[in-house]
Structures are given as C-alpha cells and as structure tokens.
Structure 1
Amino acid sequence: MHPALVKSFGGLSLQRYIRHFLFGLIFPAIFFWAWSHGNSTMPVSIILFFTINSLLYPYSRFVYEGIVGYILGENVFFVNAIVMLIFKYMTMAVCWACAMFIAPVGLLYLYLTANKRASE
C-alpha cells in the first residue's frame, strides 16, 4: 500500500475507527430495512454510496469532533438527555451522509500530522 494512504487511513486508532464505524452502520441498516419492505430492488449505486459513506464515516466524525472540540474547549453543558440524544443523532446523520465530502479533510489532516511527527 502507498505510504501516503497508510499515513492517512492509519491515522485513527483501530479502536476509535471500529467504534465510529459500528455507530455509522446505524444509517445503512435503517435504509436497508426500509428498502427491504418495499417492492423494488436497491440500485448498486445506492449500495456503493452506503458502503463508501460507512467506511469514511469515522474520518468524518473525527473532523466534526475536532471542530467542536476547538470551538467548545473544555466546557461542559448540562442539557436534557432526550435533547442531547436527538442532537447527537442529527450530527451523526449529517456526518454519515456527507462523509465522502467531510472525510478528505480529516484524511489530509492525519497525513500532514503523520509527516510532521516523522520529521521530528
């Protein structure tokens, strides 16, 4: 495998990648379940879209968490659990649906930080 790909895709810990990947499987599971109750077959393009977004979701979530961490810092907010879960689900859905557009930012960041660590 090309070293640049290893630096980018290998930038997240395996534990973090698997955790986010499993949470990201919620969305294709919902779509597959809903589609299975219909009368048509799912197009290959949609299956490909679901697969790509599911594989890139952990990197998309990495970008989101980095931005939120930068903005909020170490602040803690106390909110209603239902409101928090709804907001969490919505952010997960946006990160999953836009993963192929958001994840390249995270992959680029991981690549650049790996290069920086290697040069030190």
Structure 2
Amino acid sequence: MHPALVKSFGGLSLRSYIRHFLFGLIFPALFLFAWSHSNSPMPLAMALFFGISSLLYPYSRFVYEGIVGYILGDNVFFVNAIAMLIAKYITMAMCWAFAIFIAPVGLIYLYFTADKRASQ
C-alpha cells in the first residue's frame, strides 16, 4: 500500500477504528431493515453510499470528537440521560451521513501528524 495511505488511514488505532465502525453500522442496518420491507431493489448508488459512509465514519467521528474536545476542554456537564442519548444519536447520524465530506479533514490531519505520532 502507498505510504501516504498508510499515514492517513493507519492514523487511528485499530481499536478506535473498529469501535466507531461498529457503531456506524447502526445506520445502514436501520436503512437495510426498512428497505427489506420494500418491494423494490436497492439502487447500487445507495448501497455504495452506505459502504463508503460506514468505512469513513470512524474518521468523521475523529474530526467531530476533536472539535468538540477543543471547544469544551475538560469541562463536565450533567444533563438528562435521555436528552444526551438523543443528542449523541443525532451527532452520530450526521457524522455518518456526511462522512464523505468530514472524513477527508481527519485523513489530512492524520497524514500531516503521522511523523509526530511515530516519534512518540
């Protein structure tokens, strides 16, 4: 594999990638479940979108968590658990749906910080 791809796509730890990838599978599973009750076949473009979004979701989530971590810092908020779970689901859905646009930011960041991470 090309070294630039290894620097970018290999930037997340395998544990973190798998964790976010598995959570990202919630959304195509919901769509596939709903689609399974339909009489029409799924368009190839939609299946391709599901696959790309699911593979890029961990990098999209990396960007989101980095931005939120920068803005909130080490602050802790005590909120209603139901409201927090709803907000978490919405942010996960947005990160998954827009992963094709958000993930490249994370991949570029991981590419340029790969040498710094390797020397630690």
> TM tier, shorter chain?
over 0.9
Normalized against structure 2, the TM-score is what?
A: 0.97
The answer for the alignment partner of 2:59 in structure 1 is: 59
Question: What is the CA-CA distance between 1:47 and the residue it aligns to?
Answer: 0.3
Instruction: Name 2:42's counterpart in structure 1.
Output: 42
Q: Secondary structure at the match of 2:41?
A: coil
Tell me, which stretches of 5 or more residues in structure 2 are unaligned? Answer: none
Q: How does 1:53-92 map to 2 (within 5 A)?
A: 53-92=53-92
Q: How does 1:1-40 map to 2 (within 5 A)?
A: 1-40=1-40
Provide the residue aligned with 2:105 in structure 1: 105
CA distances 1:18-77 after superposition (whole Å, capped 9, x unpaired): 000000000000000000001101011100000000000000000000000000000000
Counting matched residue pairs gives: 120
Any idea what SS the aligned residue of 1:39 has?
Answer: coil
Per the normalisation by structure 1, the TM-score is: 0.97
Question: 1: distance between equivalents of 2:79 and 2:37?
Answer: 37
CA RMSD of aligned residues (A): 1.3
Query: Structure 1 residue 119: deviation in Å?
Result: 7.8
Alpha carbons of 1:119 and 1:21: their partners in 2 closer, same or farther (altered >3 Å)?
Answer: closer
Find the residue that maps to 2:79 and give its secondary structure: coil
Letter in 1 for 2:115: N
What is the rounded CA distance, in whole Å, between the counterparts of 1:27 and 1:66 in structure 2?
Answer: 22
For structure 1, which runs of at least 5 residues remain unmatched after alignment? none
- 2: CA distance between counterparts of 1:24 and 1:41? 23
For 1:58 and 1:117, locate their aligned partners in 2 and report how far apart those are by CA, in whole Å: 18
**CA positional deviation for 1:117:** 4.6
Deviation at 1:17, TM superposition (A): 0.1
